[in-house]
Structure 1
Amino acid sequence: MSTASALSPEVLAKYQPVIGLEVHVQLLTKTKAFCGCVNLYGGEPNTHVCPVCLGLPGALPVLNEQAVEFAVLTGAALNCTINPVSIFARKNYFYPDSPKGYQISQYDKPTCEHGYLDIPDGNGGLKRIGITRAHMEEDAGKSIHDGFPDSVTRSYIDLNRCGTPLIEIVSEPDLRSPQEAFDYLTKLKEILLYAGVSDCNMEEGSLRCDANVSIMLKGADKFGTKAEVKNVNSFRFIRSALEYEIERQVEILESGGKVAQETRLYNSAEGVTYSMRSKEQAHDYRYFPEPDLPPLLISEEWKNEILKGLPELPEAKRTRLIAEYGITEKDAETLTASASFADQFEAAAKASKSPKRVAALITSELTGRLNASGLELEQSPVSMKGLAMAADLAESGELSSKMLKQLLDISFEKGEDFPVVYEREKPQQISDTSVIEKMIDEVIAANPKQVEQFKGGKTTVSAFFVGQVMRLSKGQANPALLNELVIKKLNQ
């Protein structure tokens, strides 16, 4: 097959991608889904195992109550219906990392279904993506291959992950572009982190995504044959894999071929997908009710008790912060990137007389320095209390923006909180009118050309004089007073 990039934009524009995502989320329970083994990433291979997760004869599963609670929280966060009765099923398949020869999952009667998630539509509005189901299941073990993908010489099985509790979140095929898939996953991860049900660490496999993608001619009413793309370990790679797969399928159809229903692997180094195996249909798994587990009954009383633990979710938090503190939508997006970030902002905002200034300092000054230093918010030398103090000093005019930046630079250089640096450096702002006027007179005398421009009607040139006086005062002139006096002097 020729490279997908050989296709013209006109050819690609004839087709409409159709994308659905299956996201597997490992839950942050202390123990596994159906036994008492520790639910912990890593460890020596095959040490976090017992007869239940090894599938030994006579070992019976017992459902983890905390996993059910996390499933209910997940469903509620995704606007799902929480079913009062759900059934566990056996999903039968034979693979080395599944010692029982089946996976305990849910099929036709899941715990949560019929939900949705809203993503940006690209035009300032929102597009609703349906969620078919969010069902409970257990994870399989892990196969490790020497030499993969070039030449596998040996394979090993680590069963530590067997029995880890999962939620599989299945979207409707409502996504129409790789970017929409990226936005959906970003939003989903944000919600799951806020809900506290998973750490969503893709490197450790606690969030994994399979993408089903097909194409059809625009205007057609029937979906094309889909391929499933697996083995993608970042949202950015998922977007790239979908872009490649869409173009691959277009090229097949344009050349008169047929797209095969199959599972494909994505190679991020090459940016291409490879055929792995033909895709199984649901009946191939021979689902049937799990005989060792009774139906899961979630009473209205228990559900309501669980939902008391659902925290304020990102969208609701953004709306509230904008309303309560008068911050911009852009600042609200940044400040709610994580629940801890939002909580720390609120603590600072409540300690300050100017919440809007606090928000501006976090987004314009603090985050930039953290990124440049390779630090997380929790590692910042400037505390939120210190930032509130800085905001108040700037708002009152006691600190110019230049002085504030200098003090924050010192805080990061020395690893000291803002109040400590401020007390030691104690920069004095010049608010003496006669001193500032003297400097203004000096700058005016040195710049007659700019004075003529001002008198000629170009009033914006006053900013030039403000800047020159600021430089002369080493950033210590009171900004508000300086602006007032510059205009007054120039008008004279």
Structure 2
Amino acid sequence: MSTATALSPEIFAKYQPVIGLEVHVQLLTATKAFCGCINQYGGEPNTHVCPVCLGLPGALPVLNRKAVEYAVLAAKAINCQIRETSIFARKNYFYPDLPKGYQISQFDKPVAEHGWIDVPDAEGKRKRIGVTRLHMEEDAGKSVHDGFADSVSKTYIDLNRCGTPLVEIVSEPDLRTPDEAFEYLTRLKEILLYTGVSDCNMEEGSLRCDANVSVMLKGAERFGTKAEVKNVNSFRYIRSALEYEIERQIGILEEGGRVVQESRLWNNAEGRTYSMRSKEQAHDYRYFPEPDLPPLVVGVEWQAEILKALPELPETRRARMIAEYDLSAQDAATLTATREFADRFEVAAKKAKSPKRVAALLTSELTMRLRAAELEPEQSPVSMDGVVMAADLAESGELSSKMLKQLLDACFAEGKDFPEIYERDKPQQISDAGAIEKMIDEVIAANPKQVEQYRGGKKTVAAFFVGQVMRLSKGQANPALLNELVAKKLDS
């Protein structure tokens, strides 16, 4: 990480960072917030526009019902209270990509407020981060800057994004470290993806985050002066930007200076922030109620109808799957990383003899091979039915661990599903007790020291003999029968 100054741990220990996050999320509706234009990323510049999103005189906005439903769904997923009557407002500011000269947003009466998200703190304990509000608004257009040449530059305006429906989610200043901020954003994105209200694609601007950060002496009653860090396009960079900004502000205070309230841009190439402009206050935007839109009323009955679409959320699902399928916390976290992957696992788990073995295959053998091949889970050559078949064969003892690995290697090497590879290369497993006993006798005779250890009470040595016999049989000895016969031979 690039740092502002070289500060000692002792100096850092004197200060407490205070962080709040503002997250803008584009909603995955078919059309824009207040008109019928297609809501789609990209396209030829200025082709997804109409008089409403261009701000032409006399064009009136009409609120998108689906955007309201998605906003309510997102709000309930992060434990917000829904305001039955909310008000749209005009947020006035001048910028080239905002043709109306104002943004339709919400101010003092947002659609939802008083929510929370739980994150792990530095000690691994659960910490509750408050959500101040979730409000609806429209997005602005996009400024495209041309390269500089002879001190002359050009800026083009693409208004395709104008009017895209957004929700802005504002956290309380409850975050105290960059790591907590990273965890908060990770969990927020996971929840939003589960609800299906947004694709949260940061590269396309579907999810954008501004971070407010200040530092104060530990034990102080008042927060320090905050700076807002903008233009950060990944959670990892947000963490780096916060680390830099915290150190920069501490350095200023240690030198007797004063932190200025301002907006700052993150430059990832240099690993530092730069001053952008003084930070606006709410009164600078001259908010007033939007005269062209009536109050938004989301009554109890409509809320109930909307919430029928709320899925089981990640944290609740993990807890249930741990209890229902006897999974480890780590396996449950991996399997619930996306709603689609969790759904596919649960379908497979209900078909398999051992859901736990299905989970183990997915989180270890398949994950390892997918990463090596740089494939996403949905690109796996091994289908979920193939995973079930492999897990059942391993559970019944018909496939040893070595055989299973070899078959999976072949699946990935040839891009074929497990049933096809298994039927073609079906290993000849040795299930003849006499043949296995003969190999056990051979291994016992060659390892008298380990036999004495076992008979002296070190029962774990049995695994050594199982491994030696499995090697001698080239992985073809029936695992269940082998374990049984090894114990019987050693005990006799």
Residues 293-304 of structure 1 aligned to structure 2 (within 5 Å): 293-304=293-304
Counterpart-to-counterpart distance in 2, 1:454 and 1:73: 61
Q: 3-state SS of the aligned residue for 1:263? A: strand
1:275, CA displacement in angstroms? 0.3
Change (3 A) 1:158 1:121: same
Q: Which residue of 1 aligns with 2:185?
A: 185
The residue type equivalent to 1:54 in the other structure is: L
Q: Which residue of 2 aligns with 1:348?
A: 348
The residue type equivalent to 2:165 in the other structure is: P
The residue type equivalent to 1:274 in the other structure is: Y
Q: When the two structures are superposed, what TM-score results if normalisation uses the length of structure 1?
A: 0.97
Any conservation in 1 of the 2:4–2:272 contact (CA below 8 Å)?
A: no
Change (3 A) 1:218 1:438: same
1:442, CA displacement in angstroms? 2.1
The residue type equivalent to 1:261 in the other structure is: Q
Q: Which residue of 2 aligns with 1:43?
A: 43
Change (3 A) 1:367 1:99: same
Q: Which residue of 2 aligns with 1:117?
A: 117
Counterpart-to-counterpart distance in 2, 1:32 and 1:127: 36
Q: Which residue of 2 aligns with 1:76?
A: 76
| Stretch deviating more after TM superposition (427-436 or 441-450) | 441-450
Counterpart-to-counterpart distance in 2, 1:195 and 1:452: 60
Any conservation in 1 of the 2:5–2:251 contact (CA below 8 Å)?
A: no
Counterpart-to-counterpart distance in 1, 2:150 and 2:77: 42
Q: Which residue of 2 aligns with 1:133?
A: 133
Q: When the two structures are superposed, what TM-score results if normalisation uses the length of structure 2?
A: 0.97
Q: Which residue of 1 aligns with 2:23?
A: 23
Q: Which residue of 1 aligns with 2:253?
A: 253
Counterpart-to-counterpart distance in 1, 2:320 and 2:485: 40
The yes-or-no answer on 1:211 pairing with 2:211 is: yes
Q: 3-state SS of the aligned residue for 2:193? A: helix
Any conservation in 2 of the 1:314–1:336 contact (CA below 8 Å)?
A: yes
The residue type equivalent to 1:195 in the other structure is: T
The yes-or-no answer on 1:468 pairing with 2:468 is: yes
Counterpart-to-counterpart distance in 2, 1:30 and 1:475: 55
Counterpart-to-counterpart distance in 1, 2:150 and 2:53: 32
Deviation per residue, 1:28-62 (Å, 9 max, x gap):
00000011110000011111111111101111111
Q: Which residue of 2 aligns with 1:226?
A: 226
The yes-or-no answer on 1:7 pairing with 2:43 is: no
The residue type equivalent to 1:328 in the other structure is: S
The residue type equivalent to 2:199 in the other structure is: D
1:67, CA displacement in angstroms? 0.4
Q: 3-state SS of the aligned residue for 2:317? A: helix
Change (3 A) 1:226 1:436: same
1:328, CA displacement in angstroms? 1.8
Any conservation in 1 of the 2:263–2:279 contact (CA below 8 Å)?
A: yes
1:5, CA displacement in angstroms? 4.8
- Unmatched tracts of structure 2, length 5 or more: none
The residue type equivalent to 1:193 in the other structure is: L
Q: 3-state SS of the aligned residue for 2:179? A: helix
The residue type equivalent to 1:324 in the other structure is: E
Q: Which residue of 1 aligns with 2:487?
A: 487
Q: Which residue of 1 aligns with 2:428?
A: 428
Q: Which residue of 2 aligns with 1:265?
A: 265
Counterpart-to-counterpart distance in 2, 1:438 and 1:21: 68
Q: Which residue of 2 aligns with 1:176?
A: 176
Q: Which residue of 1 aligns with 2:158?
A: 158
Deviation per residue, 1:403-429 (Å, 9 max, x gap):
111111111111111111111111122
Deviation per residue, 1:256-306 (Å, 9 max, x gap):
000000000001111100000000000000000111111111111111111
Counterpart-to-counterpart distance in 1, 2:32 and 2:76: 22
Counterpart-to-counterpart distance in 2, 1:308 and 1:490: 60
Counterpart-to-counterpart distance in 2, 1:152 and 1:395: 70
Counterpart-to-counterpart distance in 2, 1:122 and 1:250: 21
Q: 3-state SS of the aligned residue for 2:404? A: helix
Residues 290-369 of structure 1 aligned to structure 2 (within 5 Å): 290-369=290-369
Q: 3-state SS of the aligned residue for 1:378? A: helix
| Stretch deviating more after TM superposition (405-414 or 234-243) | 405-414
Q: Which residue of 2 aligns with 1:396?
A: 396
Counterpart-to-counterpart distance in 1, 2:304 and 2:152: 51
1:22, CA displacement in angstroms? 0.2
Q: 3-state SS of the aligned residue for 1:4? A: coil
Counterpart-to-counterpart distance in 2, 1:69 and 1:456: 69
Q: Which residue of 1 aligns with 2:439?
A: 439
Identity across matched positions, percent: 79
Any conservation in 1 of the 2:18–2:214 contact (CA below 8 Å)?
A: yes
Counterpart-to-counterpart distance in 2, 1:323 and 1:152: 64
The residue type equivalent to 2:52 in the other structure is: V
The residue type equivalent to 1:167 in the other structure is: V
Change (3 A) 1:481 1:372: same
Change (3 A) 1:418 1:178: same
Change (3 A) 1:275 1:152: farther
Q: 3-state SS of the aligned residue for 2:143? A: strand
Q: 3-state SS of the aligned residue for 1:214? A: strand
Deviation per residue, 1:224-276 (Å, 9 max, x gap):
00000000000000000000000000000000000000000001111100000
Counterpart-to-counterpart distance in 2, 1:177 and 1:52: 42
Change (3 A) 1:102 1:152: farther
Deviation per residue, 1:331-357 (Å, 9 max, x gap):
111110000000000010011111111
1:322, CA displacement in angstroms? 1.8
Change (3 A) 1:443 1:5: farther
Counterpart-to-counterpart distance in 1, 2:153 and 2:328: 57
Change (3 A) 1:443 1:303: same
Q: 3-state SS of the aligned residue for 2:156? A: strand
Counterpart-to-counterpart distance in 2, 1:383 and 1:278: 55
1:124, CA displacement in angstroms? 3.8
The residue type equivalent to 1:415 in the other structure is: G
Q: 3-state SS of the aligned residue for 2:427? A: coil
Any conservation in 2 of the 1:145–1:152 contact (CA below 8 Å)?
A: no
Change (3 A) 1:266 1:150: farther
Counterpart-to-counterpart distance in 2, 1:144 and 1:444: 75
1:456, CA displacement in angstroms? 5.3
Counterpart-to-counterpart distance in 2, 1:351 and 1:151: 67
